[in-house]
Chains A and B, each alone.
Chain A
Amino acid sequence: DAGVTQSPTHLIKTRGQQVTLRCSPISGHKSVSWYQQVLGQGPQFIFQYYEKEERGRGNFPDRFSARQFPNYSSELNVNALLLGDSALYLCASTLSGSSYNEQFFGPGTRLTVL
Protein backbone atom coordinates (compact mmCIF):
# COMPACT_ATOMS: atom_id res chain seq x y z
CA ASP A 1 0.00 0.00 0.00
CA ALA A 2 1.20 3.49 -0.77
CA GLY A 3 2.00 5.66 2.19
CA VAL A 4 1.35 9.36 2.50
CA THR A 5 2.54 11.17 -0.60
CA GLN A 6 3.42 14.84 -0.93
CA SER A 7 4.25 17.04 -3.87
CA PRO A 8 6.44 18.68 -4.83
CA THR A 9 9.47 17.35 -2.97
CA HIS A 10 11.36 20.61 -3.23
CA LEU A 11 10.31 24.14 -4.00
CA ILE A 12 12.13 27.44 -4.27
CA LYS A 13 10.17 30.71 -4.09
CA THR A 14 10.95 34.35 -3.53
CA ARG A 15 9.56 36.61 -0.85
CA GLY A 16 6.01 37.77 -1.46
CA GLN A 17 5.10 34.84 -3.68
CA GLN A 18 2.41 32.26 -2.99
CA VAL A 19 2.84 28.50 -2.77
CA THR A 20 0.57 25.46 -2.78
CA LEU A 21 1.65 22.15 -1.31
CA ARG A 22 -0.24 18.91 -1.87
CA CYS A 23 -0.79 15.78 0.17
CA SER A 24 -2.51 12.46 -0.46
CA PRO A 25 -3.26 10.43 2.65
CA ILE A 26 -3.06 6.69 3.04
CA SER A 27 -6.03 5.01 1.42
CA GLY A 28 -8.91 4.86 3.87
CA HIS A 29 -7.55 7.61 6.10
CA LYS A 30 -9.92 10.52 6.52
CA SER A 31 -7.89 12.92 8.62
CA VAL A 32 -4.95 15.01 7.43
CA SER A 33 -2.70 17.24 9.51
CA TRP A 34 -0.05 19.70 8.38
CA TYR A 35 3.13 20.49 10.29
CA GLN A 36 5.99 22.92 9.74
CA GLN A 37 9.49 21.76 10.68
CA VAL A 38 12.08 24.50 10.78
CA LEU A 39 15.68 23.35 10.72
CA GLY A 40 16.80 22.25 14.15
CA GLN A 41 13.34 22.09 15.66
CA GLY A 42 10.54 19.60 16.03
CA PRO A 43 7.47 19.77 13.80
CA GLN A 44 4.87 22.38 14.72
CA PHE A 45 1.18 21.85 14.11
CA ILE A 46 -0.47 24.06 11.48
CA PHE A 47 -3.84 22.52 10.57
CA GLN A 48 -5.94 19.43 10.98
CA TYR A 49 -8.78 18.39 8.69
CA TYR A 50 -11.23 15.56 9.16
CA GLU A 51 -13.95 14.67 6.70
CA LYS A 52 -13.22 17.87 4.77
CA GLU A 53 -13.81 20.09 7.78
CA GLU A 54 -11.14 22.08 9.59
CA ARG A 55 -10.84 20.59 13.05
CA GLY A 56 -8.00 22.64 14.41
CA ARG A 57 -5.46 25.32 13.68
CA GLY A 58 -2.10 26.00 15.26
CA ASN A 59 -0.52 29.34 16.02
CA PHE A 60 0.14 30.42 12.45
CA PRO A 61 -0.85 33.66 10.68
CA ASP A 62 -3.75 33.96 8.27
CA ARG A 63 -1.30 33.75 5.38
CA PHE A 64 -1.53 30.01 5.93
CA SER A 65 -4.67 28.26 4.72
CA ALA A 66 -5.64 24.72 3.80
CA ARG A 67 -8.45 22.62 2.51
CA GLN A 68 -9.38 18.97 2.17
CA PHE A 69 -11.06 17.52 -0.88
CA PRO A 70 -13.77 14.83 -1.18
CA ASN A 71 -11.08 12.21 -1.86
CA TYR A 72 -9.42 13.30 1.43
CA SER A 73 -6.36 14.76 -0.26
CA SER A 74 -5.33 18.15 1.02
CA GLU A 75 -3.63 21.36 -0.02
CA LEU A 76 -1.71 23.82 2.11
CA ASN A 77 -1.46 27.38 0.78
CA VAL A 78 0.91 30.02 2.01
CA ASN A 79 0.56 33.60 0.75
CA ALA A 80 3.01 36.49 0.89
CA LEU A 81 5.95 34.25 1.64
CA LEU A 82 8.55 35.36 4.15
CA LEU A 83 12.11 34.14 4.57
CA GLY A 84 11.01 32.54 7.84
CA ASP A 85 8.58 30.29 5.99
CA SER A 86 11.53 28.26 4.74
CA ALA A 87 11.00 24.83 6.26
CA LEU A 88 10.09 21.22 5.69
CA TYR A 89 6.31 20.95 5.48
CA LEU A 90 5.00 17.61 6.61
CA CYS A 91 1.62 16.08 6.00
CA ALA A 92 0.32 13.33 8.27
CA SER A 93 -2.71 11.14 7.84
CA THR A 94 -4.74 9.33 10.47
CA LEU A 95 -7.42 6.73 10.06
CA SER A 96 -9.98 8.84 11.86
CA GLY A 97 -10.14 11.80 14.18
CA SER A 98 -9.39 9.52 17.12
CA SER A 99 -6.54 10.66 19.29
CA TYR A 100 -5.51 7.05 19.87
CA ASN A 101 -4.39 6.56 16.29
CA GLU A 102 -0.82 7.26 15.35
CA GLN A 103 -0.19 9.75 12.60
CA PHE A 104 1.61 8.53 9.49
CA PHE A 105 3.85 11.14 7.93
CA GLY A 106 4.75 11.81 4.34
CA PRO A 107 8.30 12.60 3.17
CA GLY A 108 7.62 16.32 3.28
CA THR A 109 8.04 19.26 0.93
CA ARG A 110 11.19 21.30 1.40
CA LEU A 111 10.31 24.97 0.82
CA THR A 112 13.09 27.50 0.40
CA VAL A 113 12.17 31.19 0.32
CA LEU A 114 14.82 33.51 -1.11
Chain B
Amino acid sequence: AQSVAQPEDQVNVAEGNPLTVKCTYSVSGNPYLFWYVQYPNRGLQFLLKYITGDNLVKGSYGFEAEFNKSQTSFHLKKPSALVSDSALYFCAVRDINSGYSTLTFGKGTMLLVSP
Protein backbone atom coordinates (compact mmCIF):
# COMPACT_ATOMS: atom_id res chain seq x y z
CA ALA B 1 0.00 0.00 0.00
CA GLN B 2 1.08 3.55 -0.69
CA SER B 3 1.83 5.82 2.25
CA VAL B 4 3.36 9.15 3.16
CA ALA B 5 4.95 10.24 6.40
CA GLN B 6 5.22 13.75 7.76
CA PRO B 7 7.73 13.46 10.58
CA GLU B 8 7.08 16.87 12.14
CA ASP B 9 3.85 17.73 13.95
CA GLN B 10 4.78 21.40 13.91
CA VAL B 11 7.29 23.67 12.20
CA ASN B 12 8.08 27.11 13.56
CA VAL B 13 9.74 29.78 11.42
CA ALA B 14 10.14 33.53 11.57
CA GLU B 15 8.60 35.68 8.87
CA GLY B 16 11.02 36.28 6.03
CA ASN B 17 13.00 33.11 6.69
CA PRO B 18 12.91 30.09 4.39
CA LEU B 19 10.66 27.24 5.38
CA THR B 20 10.68 23.50 4.77
CA VAL B 21 7.93 21.03 5.58
CA LYS B 22 9.08 17.44 5.25
CA CYS B 23 7.39 14.50 3.58
CA THR B 24 8.63 11.02 2.75
CA TYR B 25 6.76 8.47 0.72
CA SER B 26 6.49 4.76 0.17
CA VAL B 27 5.00 3.58 -3.12
CA SER B 28 5.16 0.73 -5.54
CA GLY B 29 5.73 2.10 -8.99
CA ASN B 30 5.96 5.76 -9.96
CA PRO B 31 5.03 8.19 -7.21
CA TYR B 32 2.41 10.83 -7.88
CA LEU B 33 2.66 13.29 -5.01
CA PHE B 34 0.61 16.26 -3.87
CA TRP B 35 0.69 19.02 -1.29
CA TYR B 36 -2.46 20.58 0.16
CA VAL B 37 -2.94 23.35 2.73
CA GLN B 38 -5.80 23.69 5.19
CA TYR B 39 -6.69 26.92 6.92
CA PRO B 40 -8.83 26.85 10.10
CA ASN B 41 -12.41 25.75 9.44
CA ARG B 42 -11.70 25.41 5.75
CA GLY B 43 -11.34 22.57 3.31
CA LEU B 44 -8.07 21.58 1.67
CA GLN B 45 -6.54 23.78 -1.00
CA PHE B 46 -4.31 22.29 -3.68
CA LEU B 47 -0.76 23.69 -3.72
CA LEU B 48 1.19 21.59 -6.19
CA LYS B 49 1.76 18.13 -7.59
CA TYR B 50 4.57 16.00 -8.95
CA ILE B 51 3.70 13.58 -11.72
CA THR B 52 6.87 13.43 -13.76
CA GLY B 53 9.55 15.74 -15.10
CA ASP B 54 11.60 18.31 -13.21
CA ASN B 55 12.38 17.45 -9.63
CA LEU B 56 11.57 21.01 -8.53
CA VAL B 57 7.86 21.67 -8.78
CA LYS B 58 6.47 25.19 -8.46
CA GLY B 59 3.02 25.75 -7.06
CA SER B 60 0.63 28.31 -5.68
CA TYR B 61 1.45 31.19 -3.29
CA GLY B 62 5.20 30.95 -3.92
CA PHE B 63 5.52 27.38 -2.67
CA GLU B 64 7.66 24.77 -4.35
CA ALA B 65 8.53 21.17 -3.64
CA GLU B 66 11.62 19.13 -4.32
CA PHE B 67 11.20 15.52 -5.40
CA ASN B 68 14.10 13.28 -4.43
CA LYS B 69 13.78 9.73 -5.64
CA SER B 70 16.84 8.36 -3.86
CA GLN B 71 15.64 9.69 -0.52
CA THR B 72 11.95 9.05 -1.30
CA SER B 73 11.17 12.57 -0.19
CA PHE B 74 8.95 15.38 -1.41
CA HIS B 75 9.67 18.34 0.86
CA LEU B 76 7.64 21.54 0.60
CA LYS B 77 9.63 24.76 0.55
CA LYS B 78 9.24 28.50 0.36
CA PRO B 79 12.14 30.98 0.19
CA SER B 80 10.54 33.61 2.42
CA ALA B 81 7.73 32.74 4.85
CA LEU B 82 4.73 34.98 5.51
CA VAL B 83 2.62 35.10 8.65
CA SER B 84 -0.34 34.26 6.43
CA ASP B 85 1.33 30.95 5.52
CA SER B 86 0.49 29.69 9.00
CA ALA B 87 -1.76 26.69 8.40
CA LEU B 88 -1.91 22.90 8.37
CA TYR B 89 -0.06 21.26 5.49
CA PHE B 90 -0.74 17.80 4.12
CA CYS B 91 1.37 15.67 1.85
CA ALA B 92 -0.52 13.05 -0.17
CA VAL B 93 0.22 10.25 -2.58
CA ARG B 94 -1.95 8.84 -5.31
CA ASP B 95 -3.18 5.45 -4.23
CA ILE B 96 -4.02 3.11 -7.04
CA ASN B 97 -6.64 0.44 -6.55
CA SER B 98 -8.41 -1.69 -9.01
CA GLY B 99 -10.39 0.61 -11.24
CA TYR B 100 -9.85 3.90 -9.43
CA SER B 101 -7.33 6.07 -7.70
CA THR B 102 -7.61 8.24 -4.65
CA LEU B 103 -5.35 10.10 -2.25
CA THR B 104 -3.63 8.83 0.86
CA PHE B 105 -2.69 11.67 3.18
CA GLY B 106 -0.07 12.14 5.84
CA LYS B 107 -1.14 13.23 9.30
CA GLY B 108 -0.32 16.85 8.59
CA THR B 109 2.23 19.40 9.75
CA MET B 110 1.21 22.64 11.43
CA LEU B 111 3.27 25.55 10.16
CA LEU B 112 3.51 28.57 12.47
CA VAL B 113 5.13 31.70 11.10
CA SER B 114 5.90 34.32 13.71
CA PRO B 115 6.08 38.05 12.91
A97-B46 Cα distance, complex, nearest whole Å: 17
Measured CB to CB, the residues of A under 8 A from B are 4, 6, 33, 40-45, 48, 50, 55-56, 58, 90, 92, 97, 99-100, 102-108, 110
Chain A residues with Cβ under 8 A from B44's Cβ?
43, 90, 92, 105
Give B51's nearest chain A residue, CB to CB: A100
Min C-beta distance of B9 to chain A, whole Å = 9
Q: Do B108 and A50 touch (CB < 8 A)?
A: no
The number of chain B residues touching the other chain, given as a range, is 20 to 34
> Count the A-B residue pairs with Cβ separation under 8 angstroms: how many?
62
Can you report 6 A-B residue pairs in the complex whose CB atoms are below 8 A from each other?
A55-B100, A56-B102, A58-B102, A97-B100, A99-B94, A105-B36
Min C-beta distance of A50 to chain B, whole Å = 7
Chain B residues with Cβ under 8 A from A40's Cβ?
107-108
Q: Do B45 and A105 touch (CB < 8 A)?
A: yes
Identify 10 new A-B residue pairs, CB closer than 8 A, beyond the known A43-B44, A45-B95, A100-B32.
A6-B43, A33-B103, A56-B102, A58-B102, A90-B44, A99-B96, A99-B101, A100-B51, A105-B46, A108-B43
8 Å CB contact of B107 from A42, A56, A105:
A42
Q: Do B46 and A104 touch (CB < 8 A)?
A: yes
**Contacts A41-B107, A55-B99; A4 near B43 (Cβ below 8 A):** yes
Min C-beta distance of A99 to chain B, whole Å = 4
B 75-115 binary contact with A (CB < 8 Å = 1; else 0): 00000000000000010101111011111111110000000
A6-B44 Cα distance, complex, nearest whole Å: 13
A110-B40 Cα distance, complex, nearest whole Å: 12
Min C-beta distance of B99 to chain A, whole Å = 6
- In the complex, whether B22 has a CB less than 8 A from a CB of chain A is no
Chain B residues with Cβ under 8 A from A33's Cβ?
102-103
Closest 10 CB pairs of A and B: A42-B105, A99-B101, A55-B100, A105-B43, A56-B100, A105-B44, A107-B43, A45-B102, A102-B46, A108-B43
Give B94's nearest chain A residue, CB to CB: A99
